[in-house]
Chains A and B, each alone.
Chain A
Amino acid sequence: MGTHSSNPRKWALFPVLVALCLAIQLTPRPPNVEFTSFLTFTVGVIFGVFYGGVFGCITMFVNGFLSPYGFAGLIMPFQMVGMALAGVFGGVYKRLMPERVDSARFCSETAIVGAVIALIYDLVTNVGVGLCFVLSGTDFALAMLIAIAYGVFFSIVHILSNATVFGILTLPSMKTLHDLVGSEKIG
């Protein structure tokens, strides 16, 4: 079992994943169907809570400037926090994972984690949107209600797509990464 500091392959993987994540994030795609949270979660699992969080922050910071939907502006810090939480979830999930878990169960669990991550990310970013409304003079409670309520359809798409992506891709990607970096077996 290698540690984070003693495995150069693992650390070489970090910038590669950042680049891959940004490339996918900046590629035109249907709104709220994304792979960033999945990759951030994966980084959290491999590198731990802190680096998972940093990975999410970096990705959303760069995305905030280069996104095909335009400059994120005031929403960017909220996107960074939301995505950092996905990385944190990865680290926490790794810590709480039992030694042996069967594939079906692992896929189900990661699908639920994906849905939770999407939900939390959307809630956090919707708070950012709500704050924009507050700054333009809307009452705080109403602004939050409007932001969350009018983002609900995007959120549902996000939750469903994330659950699917996490449920299908986490297990094979973990196995591939395990083979690649030679760290402890996952899944």
Chain B
Amino acid sequence: MVEKRTLVFLTLAMLVWAVSISSLAGYFYLQNATHIQQIGENQRSLNKTASNYDESMSKYNTLLSEYSMLYYSYSPDANFTLLMEPFGRLMNSLKSNYSSLLMNQEDLNETYYTLEENYQLIYQEGNVTEKDFGRLLDEYYDLFNLLAIRELGIVVSETVTLTVNISVYYGNETVEWYNETVVPAGSSLFQLTKEIAIVDPKYDQWAKPGHIFIEAINDKEGYSSDHIDEGYSDGYSWMWYYWDSDQQKWVSGPVGCDAWMLKDGGIYKWSFEYWRFDWPWS
């Protein structure tokens, strides 16, 4: 026969065990509930992204079809003046489909209005040549693709963000690093630069891909001078580079900073550098 005192202590020991095990069960229940909730949120986010992606692709296909129809009419024997009206409709369609993007992204907005200006100019002149119309179509197509890529970037940025590092070298041994900068997916180097510094951008409609030149970063302004007698120009400008992790070296930016899309973990650099251009005709 077990005595009463022993029973009391056995009961106490079991109570400790039972409460501990119940608390453990509670812990795993809470963990499970939290994970289920997170999975649910992630799923909703993915569904939203998928839905936005569908919407974006459907818009892209519609605009591409409209462009394709006009491009089909673009042949050497066509009346290009007559084609200007459908081109205008195409422009309007582009504007209405990407209105919020055009409103929020100044480089794209600038490109759109430059294209519209060129269109108006050529249209008003009356006799539209094949070359003029071809150039308008090219510019339109470039802008249309850029808009589509940016919009896809925005769709992806609802679930994905990028972490990048960027430095600004002012040319006097002063380097500022902006490490672990978080930006939405689909951001361009121009957007990142605007996030980390005060920039003075200059729009150049003839430059492409990308139309933006950075004239000044944090009030450090580039300059140039022409040496007519010696036959060259030189000066200081802001150049950008990206770090090529395969080759382990900085690579000079091959396009305008507004056309270069950031990648996760990417390392970028703005550098205030001397340049010299020898005139080929001198």
User: Known: A112-B16, A115-B16. Contact between A152 and B9, CB under 8 A?
Assistant: no
A123 at the interface (CB under 8 A from B): yes
Q: In the bound complex, do residue B9 and residue A108 qualify as a contact, i.e. CB atoms below 8 Å apart?
A: yes
B13 at the interface (CB under 8 A from A): yes
* Residues on A with beta carbons closer than 8 Å to the beta carbon of B103: none
Q: In the bound complex, do residue A112 and residue B23 qualify as a contact, i.e. CB atoms below 8 Å apart?
A: no
Q: In the bound complex, do residue A123 and residue B19 qualify as a contact, i.e. CB atoms below 8 Å apart?
A: yes
B12 at the interface (CB under 8 A from A): yes
- From B10, which residue of chain A is reached at the shortest CB distance? A112
Q: Which size bracket describes the interface of A in this complex? A: 20 to 34
B71 at the interface (CB under 8 A from A): no
- From B31, which residue of chain A is reached at the shortest CB distance? A149
> Which of B5, B12, B23 has a CB less than 8 Å from the CB of A148?
B23
Q: Which of B96-154 contact A (CB under 8 A)?
A: none
How far is the CB of B150 from the nearest CB of chain A, in Å?
40
* Residues on B with beta carbons closer than 8 Å to the beta carbon of A146: 30
Q: In the bound complex, do residue A155 and residue B5 qualify as a contact, i.e. CB atoms below 8 Å apart?
A: no
User: Known: A109-B9, A112-B13. Contact between A149 and B19, CB under 8 A?
Assistant: no
Cα-based distance from A98 to B30 in the complex (angstroms): 44
* Residues on A with beta carbons closer than 8 Å to the beta carbon of B13: 112, 115
B1-36 vs A, CB cutoff 8 Å, 1 = contact: the mask equals: 000010001001101100110011011011000000
* Residues on A with beta carbons closer than 8 Å to the beta carbon of B19: 119, 123
Q: In the bound complex, do residue A152 and residue B26 qualify as a contact, i.e. CB atoms below 8 Å apart?
A: yes
Cα-based distance from A98 to B9 in the complex (angstroms): 14
> Which of B5, B26, B27 has a CB less than 8 Å from the CB of A98?
B5
> Which of A116, A148, A151, A153 has a CB less than 8 Å from the CB of B16?
A116
Q: In the bound complex, do residue A150 and residue B16 qualify as a contact, i.e. CB atoms below 8 Å apart?
A: no
A21 at the interface (CB under 8 A from B): no
> Which of B12, B26, B29 has a CB less than 8 Å from the CB of A112?
B12
Cα-based distance from A3 to B19 in the complex (angstroms): 38
* Residues on A with beta carbons closer than 8 Å to the beta carbon of B16: 112, 115-116, 119, 159
- From A109, which residue of chain B is reached at the shortest CB distance? B9
* Residues on B with beta carbons closer than 8 Å to the beta carbon of A123: 19
* Residues on B with beta carbons closer than 8 Å to the beta carbon of A119: 15-16, 19-20
A19 at the interface (CB under 8 A from B): no
How far is the CB of B24 from the nearest CB of chain A, in Å?
5
* Residues on B with beta carbons closer than 8 Å to the beta carbon of A148: 23, 26
> Which of A145, A150, A159 has a CB less than 8 Å from the CB of B20?
A159
* Residues on B with beta carbons closer than 8 Å to the beta carbon of A115: 12-13, 16
A18 at the interface (CB under 8 A from B): no
A156 at the interface (CB under 8 A from B): yes
Q: Which of A59-105 contact B (CB under 8 A)?
A: 98
> Which of B5, B15, B26 has a CB less than 8 Å from the CB of A149?
B26
* Residues on A with beta carbons closer than 8 Å to the beta carbon of B23: 148-149, 151-152, 155
Q: Which of A136-169 contact B (CB under 8 A)?
A: 145-146, 148-153, 155-156, 159
Cα-based distance from A119 to B96 in the complex (angstroms): 67
How far is the CB of A52 from the nearest CB of chain B, in Å?
18
Q: Which of A22-77 contact B (CB under 8 A)?
A: none
How far is the CB of A32 from the nearest CB of chain B, in Å?
13
Cα-based distance from A112 to B29 in the complex (angstroms): 28
A103-126 vs B, CB cutoff 8 Å, 1 = contact: the mask equals: 000001100110110010001000
How far is the CB of B30 from the nearest CB of chain A, in Å?
5
Q: In the bound complex, do residue A112 and residue B20 qualify as a contact, i.e. CB atoms below 8 Å apart?
A: no
How far is the CB of A102 from the nearest CB of chain B, in Å?
13
Chain A CB within 10 Å — which of B15, B16, B29 has the most?
Answer: B16
* Residues on A with beta carbons closer than 8 Å to the beta carbon of B26: 145, 148-149, 152
- From A113, which residue of chain B is reached at the shortest CB distance? B12
Q: In the bound complex, do residue A112 and residue B9 qualify as a contact, i.e. CB atoms below 8 Å apart?
A: yes
- From A153, which residue of chain B is reached at the shortest CB distance? B27
A residues near B, CB below 8 A? 98, 108-109, 112-113, 115-116, 119, 123, 145-146, 148-153, 155-156, 159
Known: A123-B19, A152-B26; 17 extra A-B contacts, CB below 8 A, are A108-B9, A112-B9, A112-B13, A115-B13, A115-B16, A116-B16, A119-B15, A148-B23, A148-B26, A149-B26, A149-B27, A150-B30, A152-B20, A152-B27, A155-B20, A155-B23, A156-B20
| 7 A-B interface contacts by CB (under 8 A) | A98-B5, A112-B12, A115-B16, A150-B27, A150-B30, A152-B20, A152-B24
